Amino acid sequence: MKKQMCAALLCLFAAVLAAETNLEELAKSVAADKNTRAPGDAAAPGLVYTISIQTMEDIKELYRESPYMLSIPVRQILERDGDISCADLFALLNSDRAYILDQFFSISLADGSYQKIRSASANIGEAAFFTPHDGLFVSDPFSYGLFLLDDGAVCRFELQTDIAGNYDALDRVWTAFPELTYKKDGYWYWKSRSSLYAFVQLMEAHDERLPAELLELQTAWEYIAGHLEIDGERAVFCGGAPGPDIRLNAVMTVSDNLRLRTAEGLESPALVTLAAGSRVKIRAFGRAAFIDGIISYWVRAEVLPGAQDTDGHAVPAGTTGWCFGGYAE
């Protein structure tokens, strides 16, 4: 069975290597209609977009010089093998791993906007809304990023609003959303990690409180995502619903039968299957994952008193293991 699955993935991967997209044409169209400009053209108003190609050699050089600029899954392969290929990236995109093709995607984990992009029944890219934040500190810029495997390399596209750096405008934005942010000692903070996803929902709803710059960003992104084609077929964006707002040492309730595992990953052996209603305490965060359409973390959890397995037997308090945080609440 595993050999058959590997053969099927190889066939799909071969198709990906030869794939053609209309991404550059869409970007130019948005540039014409939305006053979008390329970097360096300071005279033109509107949005900023960039399109670049990152080869496997570029990724390896980046690993040697600035490894923190790469995603954790990519660094793990380079640490293990000393090399990386487009096939490695393809396999990661078609696993439960998330935030693969760009390290900075990890800053948007809490917003739930992460999506994988499918073509020919396989994932060949990912996309997300992202904005830097250190903990709950609010920062800029506001961007949409889209990364695709393209002819043995990574095609990187970013669409960014010009509001970045305009602190008066940013102040107006956050003042308009008291349900999401608050100001302390001259700085703005998200009220919780889930606030970022709520902000994205307001973007998608074209909330009238948003400034023109952000509405323009959202409209341009919707046009690109809605018209992206791969080999003449419309690309499919597989959306990620956000997992619960997980905090270290938080007590959470298992929402459905949940396997507690020896390590991160669906391939890790199960220690016990906790019954719905059991409670656990979050002791550590692991890697990001995209499972059953939910974007969340693997977490190390400690079983609390009163927990049971699916056969109704008591699970000893203090038992620890890894589970997918998207299945707790």
pLDDT score at 99: 82
Q: Are 115 and 91 in contact (CB under 8 A)?
A: no
Q: Are 321 and 272 in contact (CB under 8 A)?
A: yes
Residue with tokens 């934005």: 173
pLDDT score at 110: 44
Amino acid at 312: G
pLDDT < 70 regions, the chain: 1-19, 31-46, 103-112, 132-135, 140, 162-167, 240-245
pLDDT tens track for 144-182: 889 999 888 999 998 888 665 566 777 877 888 888 888
Tokens of 235: 């690309």
Tokens of 187: 């700085």
pLDDT score at 249: 85
Backbone angles phi, psi at 191, to 5 degrees: -70, -30
Q: Sort strands 320-324 and 251-253 into parallel, antiparallel or unpaired.
A: unpaired
DSSP one-letter string for 196-218: HHHHHHHHHTT-TTS-HHHHHHH
pLDDT tens track for 181-202: 888 888 888 887 777 778 888 8
Beta partners for residue 323, in sequence order: 299
Domains of the chain, residue spans: 2-240, 243-327
pLDDT score at 240: 62
Question: Minimal CA–CA distance to 156: which of 178, 184, 196, 128?
Answer: 128
Please state, in angstroms and rounded to a whole number, the distance separating the CA atoms of residues 156 and 160: 13
Please state, in angstroms and rounded to a whole number, the distance separating the CA atoms of residues 91 and 70: 17
pLDDT score at 167: 67
Question: Minimal CA–CA distance to 117: which of 104, 134, 103, 101?
Answer: 101
Question: Minimal CA–CA distance to 325: which of 297, 295, 288, 303?
Answer: 297
Tokens of 130: 């992202």
pLDDT score at 244: 65
pLDDT score at 238: 82
Which stretches does DSSP call E strand in the chain? Answer: 48-54, 115-119, 122-130, 143-150, 153-160, 181-184, 187-190, 229-230, 233-234, 236-239, 241-242, 251-253, 258-261, 270-274, 279-291, 294-303, 320-324
